Amino acid sequence: MKNTPAILLMMLMAADMSSILAEAAPPSREERVMSKQWAAEHLGSGNAALPFSFVYNGASSSDLLPQLEGKSDIRELDKARTERTLSWHDRQSGLVVRCVVVEYEDFPAVEWTLYFKNEGSESSPILKDVLGLDMRLAGGAGDEFVLYGTKGDWCTPDSFEPFEKKLAPGTAEQFAPYGGRPTNAAFPYYNLKTPGGGMLLVIGWPGNTTAPKPVPASCRPSGVRIAARKPKPFCFMISPQIQSTK
């Protein structure tokens, strides 16, 4: 069996960024409601505005997934966590795409992990450009987006020094660790201030990653696109499951 995971993402919603920056505080009801609304809009079903993307056999996921057989399963992990699994099956090639989402009842956080599997009898077509996080945040004229984070470890006196970057229209920021160490020269925890609130972004992937890359949203007069992937573009085929009989 060849089971290929993509990025694990966690997003925490915040209605008032100043409370996060000043001191730890219990999440408000408003923040928990915001988290639920975001999860319903982006991960509530296979037809949602999905916060990830990929290209399979030359087709973008936004074009491909609506054409595939899809389903959604929900189960309660415990009193504080609910798991939703979105899956799509390409009967022709055997590709199965699975997005496992965990929502928290007591905290405004959503996490998801993306998996790919080949249930066919032949190697799959090319899978490439996998972005475990790919989403756009719209804004109006004059709205400001500010990215907070730390530099990561440079083995210098300013290692893990905090930074603050205002994301002006037409600009892009990219952060990537290297050397197989996930906090080397970049730290995969980010605080994005948005108009009226904000969110904390956490990226998990063994080894090197490319952290959120905010760029202007192409379809809005003002906005931000956030994407996360491996540092170098890659493509691969997924081998079919091999079973042995005795």
What pLDDT, in 10s, does the model give residues 197-209?
Answer: 888 888 775 455 5
- Check pLDDT > 60 for residue 187: yes
> Which tops the pLDDT comparison, 224 or 56?
56
Say how far apart CA 194 and CA 240 lie, in whole Å: 43
Share of the chain above pLDDT 70, in %: 74
Rounded to an integer, the average pLDDT of 222-243 is: 67
Residue 246: per-residue pLDDT: 40
How far does CA 26 lie from the centroid of its chain? 24
| The pLDDT of residue 220 | 41
Q: Which residues contact 128 (CB under 8 A, 6 or more apart)?
A: 54, 55, 56, 233, 234, 235, 236
| Spatial distance between the Cα atoms of 109 and 145, rounded to a whole number of angstroms | 20
Q: Among the listed ranges 77-86, 120-129, 180-189, which one has the minimum average pLDDT value? A: 180-189
Measured CA distances, 102 to 36, 109, 114, 215 (Å)? 11, 8, 12, 27
pLDDT of residue 21: 47
Tell me the torsion sign for CA atoms 67, 71, 72, 77. Answer: negative
Per-residue pLDDT band at 237 (split at 50, 70, 90): low
The pair of structure tokens assigned to 26 is: 């219990």
Asked whether 224 and 136 are in contact (CB, 8 A), the reply is yes
Residue 212 has pLDDT above 80, yes or no: no
* C-alpha–C-alpha distance, residues 174 and 235, integer Å: 21
Query: Which tens digit of pLDDT belongs to each residue from 56-93?
Result: 999 999 999 999 989 999 999 999 999 999 999 999 99
pLDDT on residue 210: 53
For residues 50 and 242, the model is more confident at 50
Contact 114, 130 (CB under 8 A): yes
pLDDT the model gives residue 23: 56
- To the nearest 10°, the Cα dihedral for 89, 100, 229, 41? 90
Residue 169: pLDDT band by 50, 70, 90 thresholds? confident
The model's pTM:
0.78
Q: What angle do CA 220, 146, 157 make, to 5 degrees?
A: 145
pLDDT tens digit sequence for 1-32: 344 444 445 555 555 444 444 456 788 888 88
